[in-house]
Structure 1
């Protein structure tokens, strides 16, 4: 009964697309939308250097085993690798293992950094903040200018 009461209050998320733009994921994070995971399938050493903040490391050669024990098959999963080919391969592996809501993050980590998405890692922590990283007004202005190009 409790689920029926809550279903009218909490909006259902539309199904995720097979491929997603980094803006979609960033928006979901900023709005605090629940129940999704970001997977980084690059080698662990590359992940340690820098990755999307909150992304889980699941190197592609361990993906099936680790995902099966740690993720629900109906969870929304955004996935990225070293390049689009690795990302596509990883998404196919998960879909073949029964994961229903897998989306390839177009452009991966590079695209994420290009839009000012939050990052973490050894190299990322040593990279000085850009001039507008802490200025919301400048970031909005940069976003508007980028969208107009």
Structure 2
């Protein structure tokens, strides 16, 4: 199996969504917002690591060579978190541009208290509609 090329310092949500859809292994998504905000809604599969605890929690639990996508409440917080991880010796850290809002704009899966109350979309149960929606979101600029 060929090795994954290094991730960019900043990533578009399409890159992350493609990796998830293809089932690529060995990457982690970190949500650095506060725990209450994380509980309301977050990218499915992301791990909560509030920015004020980020390095202390990530250092013992994540390999320094692991691909890490990070997002926060806004791009400034996201970039601050990514830089903190790089300064702590993490080699493959990418700031997810646009965060949760951009993720939702391209139809990325979410979970959480608020997200669970959102009704299913037309494509949730219809494969043809899902494929059509996927093609449309690949062309969205976020």
The answer to whether the superposition gives a TM-score over 0.5 is yes
**Structure 1: gaps of 5 or more residues:** 1-9
The question of whether the paired residues in 1 share the 8 Å contact of 2:7 and 2:67 is answered with yes
Query: 1:108 and 2:137 equivalent?
Result: no
Counterpart position of 1:28: 19
Q: What is the alpha-carbon distance in structure 2 between the residues aligned to residue 108 and residue 136 of structure 1?
A: 27
User: Normalization by structure 1: what TM-score?
Assistant: 0.89
Aligned alpha-carbon RMSD (Å): 1.5
Partners of 2:125 and 2:10 lie apart in 1 by 30
Q: 1:131 to 1:73 in 2, by over 3 A?
A: same
Secondary structure of 2:52's match?
helix
3-state SS of 1:74 partner: coil
The higher radius of gyration belongs to: 1
Q: CA deviation at 1:143?
A: 3.9
When residues 131 and 72 of structure 1 are mapped into structure 2, their CA distance, relative to the original with a 3 A threshold, is same
Instruction: Give runs of ≥4 in structure 1 deviating > 4 Å.
Output: none
TM-score normalized with structure 2 length: 0.93
Describe the shift of the 1:132–1:12 C-alpha distance in structure 2 as closer, same or farther (beyond 3 A).
Answer: same
Could you list the runs of 5+ residues in structure 2 that have no partner in the other structure?
Answer: none
Q: CA deviation at 1:148?
A: 7.7
Q: Is it true that 1:17 corresponds to 2:13 in the alignment?
A: no
Whether the 8 Å CA contact 2:106–2:140 is kept in 1: the answer is no
Q: How many Å separate the matches in 1 of 2:91 and 2:99?
A: 20
- Residues 29 and 70 of structure 2 are in contact (CA less than 8 Å); yes or no, is this contact kept in structure 1? yes
| Number of equivalences | 140
